[in-house]
Amino acid sequence: MKLGILINEGPFTHQASDSAYQFATAALKKGHEIIRVFFYHDGVYNSTKFADPPSDDRNLVQQWSKMAEEHGVELIVCVAAAMRRGINDDALAPGFQISGLGQLIEAGIEADRLVTFGD
């Protein structure tokens, strides 16, 4: 099954980012394809290389980057949401790229399911 994922919450404010990552990890282990993860609204904070959580806490930004590298998962950050929050290309962690809402629409068309995490 081809899956698209939409994340609307930041990595340290709600459970949505953790749940999305765990869902994506489980889906990949089951042999499903994640065609794209789209970060929207505060979800764009999942993409910044400037996140520096304590060493005893999970680092979702690094985890997403590793998933992109190992599985070829596209990590797309909404350009408008990123700009509103001061995130540009220079702030992105490896594996993330900035693009427009058309990428979200395309994921919805190409995927068998588009799963949303967060409000």
Res. 114: pLDDT tops 90: yes
Query: How much is the pTM?
Result: 0.95
> Which DSSP string do the residues of 16-79 spell out, in sequence order?
HHHHHHHHHHHHHHTT-EEEEEEE-GGGGGGGBTT----TTS--HHHHHHHHHHHH---EEEEH
Please name each of the domains of the chain with its CATH number: 2-26+40-51+58-117 (3.40.1260.10)
Is 78 catalytic? The answer is yes
**Cβ-contact 111, 4 below 8 angstroms:** yes
Q: What pLDDT score does 99 carry?
A: 98
* Average pLDDT over every residue of 26-51: 97
106: tokens are 């395309």
Q: Catalytic residue among 16, 20, 78, 82, which?
A: 78
For residue 119, the model assigns a pLDDT of 87
Give the Cα separation of 13 and 2 in Å (integer). Answer: 28
Under 8 Å between Cβ of 85 and 44: yes
**How confident is residue 12, by pLDDT bands cut at 50, 70 and 90?**
confident
Residue 52: is its pLDDT beyond 90? no
